[in-house]
Structure 1
Amino acid sequence: MNRRHDIDALRALAFGLLILYHLSMLYVTEWSWHVKSSYLSEALQIPMLMLNRWRMDLIFLISGISTAFLMHNTRIGDFLRQRNWRLLLPLAFGIVVVVPIQPYCEGVVNGVVQPGFVDFLARYYTAAPWPENAFAGWQHGYTWNHLWYLAYLWCYTLLMALLQPALATRAGQRLQAAFTGLRGTKLLLLPALPLLLYTVVLQPHFPGTNDLIHDWYMHAVYFTVFAYGWCLARSDALWAELLRLRKPALGLALGMGAIYLALVLRFKGDEEVSTATQWLIWTLRNVYVWTTLCSILGWSYALLNRPFRWLPWATEAVYPWYVLHQSLTVLLAYWLVPLHIGPVAEPLLVGVGTVLGCWILTSGLIVRTPWLRPLFGLKPHHRADTRAMASPA
């Protein structure tokens, strides 16, 4: 199987966008986060809102594509052993070693945790409940914060592996063909219908929590786009159709997004919105999300499917950067926000510091240290096999 450079590049870019998104969470007005700057921007809400609608859907879509490539010609047992090693080990290590700086900084800023990181860790590792609202996840005593993605991905990967016998049946093949056989307008609209159904039926009762157990609306959305990616991965005809539809998909995404945004701003703050209006907003939102994903896939296939010189490095670095970035961002903000150094210098230093920290720790330490590599989701050997379709996430 030929390596799909566009998927490698798109994965790296998607997680790079995630780093930028988390940096912006410091500054967007009305959106809570672990640490907040005093230099808040209401103007950030619009681009953040539109990005937030599809950023994680894109990551799970890419993960589904990567999973299909990884499962190709691999026994299910071997595949699951590899996935357990590369998902659960970094998750456990991240929860214990990388993430704790985030609840510490958040708890100190909230005035609930006393300064002193060693003392904090001594209590944190007992997993005892903390005072109310000490930090996100205080009820459980500890948190996985941004690493929730690894737990969700592990569950979806396990479920997809368990579904393989059913998908190999005639009924399963027909179900996959129903998706991979979509063309034209049907491809741009019909896959959005399940997402709309989940929004209408599940979202009012199960708002997003990232706690794995009660997150049924987000599970439905994320596993569906994960399954879309799995079906899409090896369908050359569907990739060709996405390539052909990339311009109409982009135009439809921009149009639906503009109307959706206009309605959201129009009814922002209204305590009650009519059922018809609410359904219209939900419909526009889900069509916007799916057409955006189609546009991204089509344009990346057209522009990124080539062996860029930076791609082998990015493919290997993306997993450690993902694990490290939010802890670095929160720590730098914890140090810099009280200094009030200005609305330009502060985000610049936090952003540059996050990137430099990820680069130094990854390229200077993690990839060069054999025992650290698996803790950050990397293969045990030093040089990544750029011929395999294995992906960190």
Structure 2
Amino acid sequence: MRWRSVMQATTGMAGRQYGLDWLRIGAFALLILYHIGMFFVPWAWHVKAAEPVDWAVWPMMAVNPWRLMLLFVISGVVSRALLGKLATPRGFAASRSARLAVPLLAGMMLFVAPQPWFELRDRGAYEAGFVHFWLNDYFEFGSSRGTPLPTWNHLWFVAYLWAYSLMLAALAALPARVRVLLQRGFDQLFTGWRLVVLPMVWLALARLLLHPVFGETHALFDDPYAHAIYGFAFFFGVALARSGAAWTTILGQWRALLGIAALACAALFAVHGMSDGTSAWETARLLARTALAWTAILGLIGFAQTHLHHDGPVRRYLTEAIFPYYIAHQTIIIAAGFWLKQAGAQTGLAFGVILLTTLLGCALTYESARRVNWLRPFLGLKRVTPRSLSATAAQEVRSQSFEKL
């Protein structure tokens, strides 16, 4: 009965999709941990620890192939639900612009600005203070110091999500018969084994053909590889939201999919340990990475909708808080990492301090923003109106009444 009720709620998009809410919260939390890890691993990043931690590469490799694609798939599903609630495609575009473009611009001007300053200071390429940097050098619209300025850094995700949302609004303006045909085509194409295999083929071809030529720039207009991956994931989520056939496969096979993901992860580890850099080993790495990415995404979605489809005050709090956390977290990580590096902190202590500082800083940012109405849009939060306050109060009364029963 539980599986059937979840299936009905999902395929019909009837009500809030609590499982996807929890999965989105978990994916953003994992992203924050991943960015803390980027300070320690040998890979290039904005600010690096004095001594890299080689073993940290392994857990990072396990989540790297699927962590961002999962967020884009969930965003696509949620965008389809929002599109159904709003009256017109124009209303959807306006709503998404307010919730994405405004915090993107505010983030570039304010929240992200300290990141390149710390990066340049860490490289020894800048001596002046941050205020001087922000007033005189940050808005140069160039790369004279080897770092593009201004920048959106980790907020590229918001820029891409906004662009895809505008494209979705344009698709929603198509005649109804065209939209029905598009959905029907998805339902016929992505069902059964094809739901697993065809996207893996697409992702593998993109990695094989586009990535070696274009790389991944996160610059929006010259990033064909990223659009082939993340644009596909977003619009896959849009169509998945109303595809009963695809949900039947996911909810019926999520355990097997997670099992395949675990095997693919083990294969990726083995290839990483044995590879000599030849094309054969790189092809094996590509295949293992692709299998891990797609089966993990589908398996986690199925798990979330099966076992996490429940509400509560923690979910309601974190669902709103996690986006402001995302906006603020990387600047806090870079700042804490820079000062700890300057102080010569040991690795274990540095990790604990960065983690605690990031959590406290994100919580302070959110708690401050949610209480200042004019500040809320800059962190991606809706403005509070008397009507919304009344609705929130009514919801709290219903929740308290339910808890007393």
Q: TM-score, normalised by structure 1?
A: 0.90
Matched, 1:49 2:61: yes
Q: 1:260 to 1:128 in 2, by over 3 A?
A: closer
Equivalents in 2 of 1:58, 1:168: separation in Å? 30
Q: After superposition, give the CA deviation of every residue in 1:134-190 in whole Å (9 maximum; x if it has no partner).
A: x4x2xxx3111101111111111111222232784254233222245x12x333222
**Structure 2 counterpart SS, 1:127:** coil
Aligned equivalent of 1:120:
133
Matched, 1:368 2:365: no
Give yes or no for contact 2:187–2:246 (8 Å, CA) kept in 1: no
Q: 2:52 aligns with which of 17, 40, 44?
A: 40
Whichever residue aligns with residue 279 of structure 2, its letter is V
Whichever residue aligns with residue 341 of structure 2, its letter is V
Q: 2:239 aligns with which of 207, 231, 239?
A: 231
Give yes or no for contact 1:61–1:225 (8 Å, CA) kept in 2: yes
Q: 1:128 to 1:82 in 2, by over 3 A?
A: closer
Q: After superposition, give the CA deviation of every residue in 1:226-249 in whole Å (9 maximum; x if it has no partner).
A: 111111113345334312211100
Aligned equivalent of 2:104:
91
Q: 2:182 aligns with which of 172, 176, 194?
A: 172
Whichever residue aligns with residue 230 of structure 1, its letter is V
Aligned equivalent of 2:33:
20
Aligned equivalent of 1:390:
none
Q: 1:12 to 1:64 in 2, by over 3 A?
A: same
Q: 2:150 aligns with which of 124, 135, 142?
A: 142
Equivalents in 1 of 2:45, 2:175: separation in Å? 42
Structure with more helix by fraction? 2
Whichever residue aligns with residue 16 of structure 1, its letter is A
Matched, 1:302 2:306: yes
Q: 1:7 aligns with which of 20, 25, 48?
A: 20
Equivalents in 1 of 2:224, 2:109: separation in Å? 26
Give yes or no for contact 1:25–1:33 (8 Å, CA) kept in 2: yes
Give yes or no for contact 1:333–1:350 (8 Å, CA) kept in 2: yes
Identify which range, 232-241 or 319-328, moves more after superposition.
232-241
**Structure 2 counterpart SS, 1:2:** coil
Matched, 1:213 2:217: no
Equivalents in 2 of 1:216, 1:233: separation in Å? 25
Equivalents in 1 of 2:381, 2:34: separation in Å? 24
CA offset at residue 95 of structure 1? 0.3
Q: 1:222 to 1:288 in 2, by over 3 A?
A: same
CA offset at residue 355 of structure 1? 0.3
Q: CA RMSD in A?
A: 2.0
Q: 1:378 aligns with which of 356, 377, 381?
A: 381
Equivalents in 1 of 2:91, 2:22: separation in Å? 26
List alignment gaps of at least 5 residues for structure 2: 1-13, 396-405
Deviation beyond 4 Å, 4+ runs, structure 1: 382-387
Equivalents in 2 of 1:168, 1:294: separation in Å? 29
**Structure 2 counterpart SS, 1:95:** helix
Identify which range, 88-97 or 190-199, moves more after superposition.
190-199
CA offset at residue 42 of structure 1? 0.6
Q: After superposition, give the CA deviation of every residue in 1:185-205 in whole Å (9 maximum; x if it has no partner).
A: 333222212112212221121
Give yes or no for contact 2:271–2:284 (8 Å, CA) kept in 1: no
Equivalents in 2 of 1:167, 1:146: separation in Å? 37
Q: After superposition, give the CA deviation of every residue in 1:44-71 in whole Å (9 maximum; x if it has no partner).
A: 1122122111111011111111111111
Aligned equivalent of 2:257:
249
**Structure 2 counterpart SS, 1:43:** helix
Matched, 1:341 2:345: yes
Percentage of pairs with the same residue: 32
Identify which range, 339-348 or 311-320, moves more after superposition.
339-348
Give yes or no for contact 2:373–2:383 (8 Å, CA) kept in 1: yes
CA offset at residue 318 of structure 1? 1.1
Equivalents in 1 of 2:183, 2:332: separation in Å? 45
List alignment gaps of at least 5 residues for structure 1: 388-393
Equivalents in 2 of 1:6, 1:52: separation in Å? 22
Q: TM-score, normalised by structure 2?
A: 0.87
Equivalents in 2 of 1:112, 1:72: separation in Å? 50
CA offset at residue 206 of structure 1? 1.1
